[in-house]
Amino acid sequence: MIYRHSGLVFTEHTLTVPLDHADPGGRRIELFAREVTAPDLPAADLPFLLYLEGGPGHSAPRHLPAWLRRATREYRVVLMDQRGTGRSTPATRQTLAGLDDPAGHLRHFRADAIVADAELLRAHLAGDRPWTVLGQSFGGFCAVTYLSRAPEGLREVLITGGLPPLEASAEDVYRAAYPRVLAHNERYAERYPDDAPAARRVVDALCERDVRLPGGDRLTPRRFQTLGIHFGAESRFDALHHLLAEAFVDGPGGKELSDAFLRGVDAAVSFATQPLYALMHESVYCQGRASGWAAHRVRAEFPEFDLDGDGPVRFTGEMIYPWLFDEDPALIPLAGCARELASRTDWPALYDADRLAGNTVPVAALICYDDMYVDREMSLATAAAIRGLRPWITNEHAHDALGIRETVFERLLTLVRR
């Protein structure tokens, strides 16, 4: 299918790929991608650029991110829905329900499989020509796996907010993450000092009565606390403030939580549109060992997040907890699958240190100094481990800078070609 939108040409591609790339004759799934080109340029003469979205478990963007139009001046841009997301055979509570072994199915949904999918897509679209890869957040993790497993398919690599730790365990990752989340809580409190009592009133209301979200599921205090996940994104940093500003209305029995507030919270805390994010999130840090609900276990070391007493409410960040699979209707049917994934120890290695040390592919990476989601020191260590990588270290941008600042893409292009 080919269509035009906002002055760009979109061409849709679908191909089948093996569920397990080690068993190419086995079960197959669909992979979907949109190719985006400028109408006034000869597309056949342009190289390809593959964009890998963050996540895990997020489809390619349906809107037009800030970098896209600029990229089409030099590339045929490919927006791939990573396996299990968007229009690539989805992995949800509905589709996984029909499988005998959903956890075994999902063991093939990490960066190694995504890279193997990308190589088949490259052959389908570009033949033998290598392409440029642009990886945002988890997409950057995938790009480093790409450099480790199939560097011959790469012309150049651009990474934003997504240099993964090469050897750190999930416990190491979250032990470093919680202090960063606390720091972003302080940034939020400095900007909106009046929100502290409002957040406490919400928690007290949720403790005193059974409050239901529009879908019928209960909003618990700890689920409300997960709204801090957006503190690390410039484009969504203020979202909680606007929810709290409209949290209460005068009802027949006095102050109660408003429908507008509950609707907004529902959209923010439900994993209905990204169940893979919850299922696979900790596995992206696993190589030969289980995650064992690392974020949940490590949280005990940070009592600042406890909701007992009348102290300030500190919101959590990019952490997945086992109780989410008891409270979110989109996740409840997947609880058994999640437990099995958390206990798996047979996750293969995602990175090849020797190959990265001998890398010959031009690589540039944006490292946000105050990134809440990806640890700066771990990113710098990885940058030093990839031969020839040119880092751009700055405190001027947040984790989502690529999607909202066109200049970020331009700067990375300049850096990788210097």
Residues assigned a catalytic role: 137, 346, 399
Maximum CA extent, the chain: 69
* CA 124/CA 126 separation, integer angstroms: 6
Are 363 and 336 a contacting pair, CB within 8 Å? no
Residue 48, phi then psi, degrees to nearest 5: -95, 150
The SS3 assignment for 241 reads helix
Are 1 and 58 a contacting pair, CB within 8 Å? no
Torsion angle of alpha carbons 144, 149, 153, 159, nearest 10°? 0
Chain CA centroid to CA 376, Å: 17
Residues 126-129: contacts with CB under 8 Å, at least 24 apart: 126/47, 126/48, 129/47, 129/48, 129/155
Per DSSP, what are the bridge partners of residue 68?
none
Q: Which two tokens stand for residue 25?
A: 């004759």
DSSP string over 243-291: HHHTSEEEETTEEEE-HHHHHHHHHHH--SS-HHHHHHTGGGG-SSS--
* CA 39/CA 8 separation, integer angstroms: 6
Q: Which two tokens stand for residue 407?
A: 């200049």
From the list 385, 392, 383, the residue with the least C-alpha distance to 412 is 392
